[in-house]
Structure 1
């Protein structure tokens, strides 16, 4: 007797599971609104040195604004004033002949900057003058946020397996809501960075909890559906972010609007059920019975007494010990599984964000470009949903990663003047990388046993965010050699695809409940595929 047999009797996919999907997907829409928020709140609008104080001495009294700019600011090759320099002294000769002969001496901006507010009324850069020598701080906020996500992945992975999915999900909702709103009121860059770290920390629990909680309540045939629906909610939020950023040009207001839906999530949390799988694995038979009865009633199935079966199942699965991250590497097959999934998650994340940050635009404004990049992920996810149930998880994971690497390799050799072809290949590569991301969430959830599933997702999310953090650093290597970032990202994608080849298939197999299920040399009660039992 396995949990999936009981779930089949009360309805493995019905109104009860659909309600869970709705309750869990709504908060997931908030995730991309924060994960990609830095694209807008850290935007660097065109700017130049402020020369308004130079007119105090009367030197500029009879000059137009254009003439004042000419004699005060050096220009770039495109004819626009330089952003971070001004002449040490006014160059009035430029008004007569347009040339100053030898390059006149310049100094850094002395009185601050003037910003073009036609696109953004306020960003982090304009708020705290994060330009020129401090320009890197705008991107540092993104790194700090994802560092919080990394630490949160490890922390919530442990807490979810120890204290349960539901209570930890509430803690995530509350933390993300409180610190998200607080960051919009930060009065210094340091305070903002700290609050963004804590926001990222809290948001991680929403991602890993909602996916696992949904999958643990459905039968094997619908697990891929749950995974893809959760992934589609990311795309919806990603597209929604483009619209919100277009309508709201102030960074503080944008953060508040992006965080607001989490308040509703806190209110709807009361209707979310705890994972019956987790309850049984921890000996909480009575509570598991309550939720299973609710599931049967909601799905209009006869409410049966599973108490004897549940006790037997709980005794078989219950372990008189607390599971930690060390259990991911204590036994041989778990150690091998942990190593391989870590490599795949790192490769998937680095490839996805490497392409996303380096893909050429369509010559459109930032909002429309962001929307297009988000929209092209939707067909990729719908296609991978069909393929996951036809070809299996393993083939889809390997195929999407290898094809992504091939797309990057093709663009390395395509001439620069064939920009139409390069753009098409880049868009295809981005879609494939998103399909790989969609597959890995579901695949990993099915690979690990219930008792350490959240720990495993926490670890793999940590490896994923490590890949996210490394991606921008790799793109900086373009200054060393233009093609070097593409070579590295291509190699990582192909390497991760080859690592996925060594993982077992999980299509339509029973989820492992304990570490012994994974380590067993035989199929568990005849339900698991032989490849699942012998990797």
Structure 2
């Protein structure tokens, strides 16, 4: 709390913070589109088997005046249950008798078919080339499309772990981190830099190493004890919070990317859906801010996850022909998912004590990346049922909403500083802490002013 008071004196929200926010947003703008690019680079265009009588230029050219392409397609490719050309099989021999559409062949034997031995023909009206057409990731190899997405997201998981560690060594540290790690001179330099950029140079000039040490004595004392990952599971309450948060974060991110990665399965116009999914994030952010402040952290996440799961379960019963309804339900699902993501990040920051919060959030972040990586793998289950992945997404979303109820509500509650604070009843210690912190606020204010 003492550092927060110092930060308020040098400018809690000034040009310094705004500049860093702009830089961070710029990085996010450059990174996030690479993830969503999978919806276009890995799109699966309509396709059928290559057949000699239809796709060989010499043969089709000689017969073009006799039979139409539709007729040649009819004798070469069988029809599926929806009376559309099969995507993965062809007749072994041309079925000329199928040209006699006015006759019935009830007593004839079903023609023999075979897999696409000579490759596929793809519809290139929307996409000239994708990884699917380049590597023929269709039919028996369709699951490799999901594996490619998994490998891409697994790279982000490894990168977040490796570069998250490297960033603690090579990037500019926060002033608070420097101070509590016995580098008050460097921390003072960063604070004065921020005060100067925020137009508070007079306040920055009054700051000294002695003022910092005095104001943050308690936090520096707490920092002398080193905490590790195992400490997150050292007490019952903290252990329950960590396990629940990890599961919730894994589920929320998995279902979010389940929608974001598989736009093609939700509607025929992926360009429209992509624009709608991006546009809905803005009102979703406003709704998240409103509900988090009025309904609380738990209610916001539980309600949004339940509604998202409901959207995922409802959409599997909507026929493909009802495209408008599918688009509306899908867009609502993405909006609810984004509200849940924001709520999860806010709630997670307030659940863990200061001394181990960074470790807890880093662990939760790993489970988030793991959920994003595993999300596309669920599409492999389509070989058993096209609806199975969406059923799992929906049920997992609702289940995560129920698990959130195991976590405490943190709205308008003081942040815990130590692991012991987590194990205590906040309602009993809040009044005493409030008096103590008020006293520290007044003391810190006197020390950083000239008068």
Unaligned runs of 5+ in 2: 438-451
Find the residue that maps to 1:62 and give its secondary structure.
Answer: helix
Which structure 2 residues correspond to residues 56-455 of structure 1 after superposition, within 5 A?
Answer: 62-64=62-64, 66=69, 68-76=72-80, 80-95=84-99, 101-156=108-163, 163=168, 167=170, 274-301=173-200, 302-303=203-204, 304-312=206-214, 313=216, 315-319=220-224, 321=226, 323-354=227-258, 365-405=269-309, 427-455=331-359
Distance 1:357 1:57, change over 3 A: closer
Query: Can you list the C-alpha shifts for 1:409-467, whole angstroms capped at 9, x where unaligned?
Result: 77799999999777655544432221011111122123334553333223212323444
CA distance in 2, matches of 1:8, 1:330: 34
Task: Name the structure 1 match of 2:14.
Answer: 14
CA distance in 1, matches of 2:314, 2:48: 40
Find the residue that maps to 1:526 and give its secondary structure.
Answer: helix
Distance 1:479 1:112, change over 3 A: closer
| Residue 102 of structure 1, CA deviation | 3.1
CA distance in 2, matches of 1:327, 1:91: 71
Unaligned runs of 5+ in 1: 169-272, 530-535
| Residue 6 of structure 1, CA deviation | 0.8
Query: Can you list the C-alpha shifts for 1:20-58, whole angstroms capped at 9, x where unaligned?
Result: 110101111234312222221111112233335888898
Of the structure 1 ranges 99-108 and 338-347, higher mean CA displacement relative to structure 2 is found in: 99-108
Find the residue that maps to 1:386 and give its secondary structure.
Answer: helix
| Residue 61 of structure 1, CA deviation | 6.3
With the length of structure 2 as denominator, give the TM-score of the two structures: 0.77
Of the structure 1 ranges 120-129 and 275-284, higher mean CA displacement relative to structure 2 is found in: 275-284
Contact 1:10 1:295 in 2 (8 A): yes
Of the structure 1 ranges 377-386 and 409-418, higher mean CA displacement relative to structure 2 is found in: 409-418
| Residue 360 of structure 1, CA deviation | 9.6
| Residue 495 of structure 1, CA deviation | 3.5
Query: Can you list the C-alpha shifts for 1:156-210, whole angstroms capped at 9, x where unaligned?
Result: 55555xx35xx36xxxxxxxxxxxxxxxxxxxxxxxxxxxxxxxxxxxxxxxxxx
Distance 1:88 1:478, change over 3 A: closer
With the length of structure 1 as denominator, give the TM-score of the two structures: 0.66
Task: Name the structure 1 match of 2:441.
Answer: none
Find the residue that maps to 1:86 and give its secondary structure.
Answer: strand
Contact 2:352 2:360 in 1 (8 A): yes
Query: Can you list the C-alpha shifts for 1:323-354, whole angstroms capped at 9, x where unaligned?
Result: 43223223444323212211321332244345
Structure of larger gyration radius: 2
